[in-house]
Amino acid sequence: MKHSLAGKALTRYAAGLLAAGLLIFLPAGTLKFPRGWLFLGVLFLPMLVMGLVMLKKAPDLLRRRLESKEQEQTQRLVVALSALMFLAGFVLCGLDFRFDWLQLPHWISWAAAAVFLIGYGMYAEVMRENSYLSRTVKVEAEQTVIDTGLYGIIRHPMYTATVLMFVTIPLVLGSLAALPVFLIYPVIIVLRIRNEEQVLKAELKGYAEYCTRVTYRLLPKIW
């Protein structure tokens, strides 16, 4: 069973790496795009480590993370919008490098890479705290409300981590031109959260009461 899960995870990992590489380097017109390699490194090396750890210590969590078929219509829209955003954003980053439109200083890319890794660390902590994390919006029979750690501060720390990571992507890639595209992501996440909370309040026991205790969804003191 674990071998099957490992094979599925490795296939998904390789497909993601190939797709990201093509979306970045083809528009750039060259493999000599150092910041493209920097981005692939900060994204896929931690991903590989996290995948191996989950395979060994939390295979059920890894299995949930590999699920991708959304049941909610709103969530399917969110997935589609996210895919379009990433497609347009990565292509624009490559073109920006190729034609030198609005390239940022290299120090900004390294600083953004550090912020990206901080977001990754937060993402890993969320997965450690909540073993029910799935890529799809659903409630399992044995699921309970998590209200400790980061979940005691904000209701959706995983999404906070992804906002931190994804908004810095064009900066890691050195493209100011692509930044407005990736700034659409927080708006998409707000749409996802609003729908997700409707599902959780209706189907997860104790979630409505949890919302009265932890009032901020994404950012403390803001929303």
Q: What is the DSSP letter of 205?
A: T
Given pLDDT bands bounded at 50, 70 and 90, which one contains residue 92?
very high
Q: Count of domains in the chain?
A: 1
Per-residue pLDDT averaged across 145-158, rounded?
Answer: 88
Residue 137 is assigned to a structural domain of this protein: yes
Give the span between the Cα atoms of 54 and 59, in whole angstroms.
Answer: 6
Predicted pLDDT of residue 79: 84
Beta-bridged to residue 175, according to DSSP, are: 103
Residue 89 is assigned to a structural domain of this protein: yes
Say which CATH number the domain at 99 has: 1.20.120.1630
CA distances from 8 to 11, 14, 56, 137, 217 (A): 5, 10, 15, 21, 32
Give the span between the Cα atoms of 75 and 79, in whole angstroms.
Answer: 6
Predicted pLDDT of residue 90: 97
User: Would the CA dihedral through 46, 52, 55, 57 be positive or negative?
Assistant: negative
Residue 193 is assigned to a structural domain of this protein: yes
Residue 121 is assigned to a structural domain of this protein: yes
Q: pLDDT tens digits for 111-145?
A: 999 999 999 999 888 888 887 666 555 666 677 88
Residue 91 is assigned to a structural domain of this protein: yes
Q: What is the pTM (predicted TM-score) of this model? A: 0.89
Residue 190 is assigned to a structural domain of this protein: yes
* Least confidently predicted of 74-88, 134-148, 181-195, 201-215: 134-148
What's the whole-number average pLDDT of the chain? 88
Q: Does residue 199 have a pLDDT over 90?
A: no
Residue 220 is assigned to a structural domain of this protein: no
Given pLDDT bands bounded at 50, 70 and 90, which one contains residue 63?
confident
Residues 6+ away with beta carbon under 8 Å from 117: 42, 46
% of the chain exceeding 90 in pLDDT: 55
Boundaries of domain holding 95 = 2-213
* Least confidently predicted of 2-6, 85-89, 185-189, 212-216: 2-6
Residue 83 is assigned to a structural domain of this protein: yes
Residues 6+ away with beta carbon under 8 Å from 191: 74, 77, 78, 81
